[in-house]
Amino acid sequence: MYTLVYDGTFEGLLTAVFEIYERKLFHVKLIKGQWRSSAMFEEILQVITDEDRAGRVLKGLRKKLSAAGIQRLYIAHMAEMENEENAIVGFIRYVFDTDQNVEEDYGNKYVMRISEIIKMVRREKHRMEAFVRFQKLKDETFYSAVEPDFNVLPLLIRHFKSRYADQKWIIYDIKRGYGLYYDLHDTQYISLDFSEVDKSANLIAAFSEDECIYQHLWKNYFTSVNIVARKNNKLHLRHIPRRYWKHLTEKI
């Protein structure tokens, strides 16, 4: 058994695939970060990300997969699900070791697992599109904090850039420490430092003067349209899981 340690990037994963074929490795385990083990009979290889090698693997995948298939592979990696790197590597190896198109071969465990991951990521993406609540700051920027289960921010760019093209906004993933900033022209990735201030107090001080009024109106609207006799908590939780509530204005 060989353990390959890579840096967690998509290019690093593709470089690891290159190493597997170059070294003719069969039984492998891929992990990200640092790895120390005292297990006997285990070889550990540090994968150094190489853009040229990663590019060669990606070129080979493009010959055997559709553009949608490549995108699905990237999304599966971007999900950052623990211990799922090996399913992605298994899928890639299956693609290269099979002459036929494998994208819909759900009898294969790796193809099936990639499909399951994609469904989970896309479901989270759609929820983020529905549950993002912006707060207007004094500089006219609209800010929203989110904590998605998966790393879906890059998948949100097209939706929010199209829907809110006439206003500056920030969608910040506080779990992963980075966000999207749209300046009316382009979208870029940013990182904010909250280490020396109280986040909630800092944001309240940064609100525009009419933000609290809008929040009050929004809460009153949800209260007024609620029909107590038709309340169904189980259905409500199915559509809006409790973990999202702390970032929803109408729930605060």
The series of mean pLDDT values per 10 residues for the chain, 252 residues long, is 91 96 93 66 85 97 96 92 92 95 94 96 91 83 88 93 93 91 93 60 50 46 53 54 55 50
Which residues contact residue 179 at a Cβ distance below 8 angstroms, ignoring those fewer than 6 apart? 153, 170, 171, 172, 173, 189, 190, 191, 192
Structure tokens at 24: 């003719």
**So what's the pLDDT on residue 210?**
53
Threshold 0.85, pTM exceeds: no
Report the SS3 class of residue 233.
helix
Contact in structure between 29 and 66 (CB atoms under 8 Å): no
**So what's the pLDDT on residue 237?**
53
Count of H-run helices and E-run strands, the chain: 9, 8
**So what's the pLDDT on residue 20?**
96
**So what's the pLDDT on residue 195?**
58
Contact in structure between 53 and 18 (CB atoms under 8 Å): yes
Q: Beta 187-190 vs 178-182: how paired, if at all?
A: antiparallel
**So what's the pLDDT on residue 81?**
87
Q: Which residues are bridge partners to 189 per DSSP? A: 180
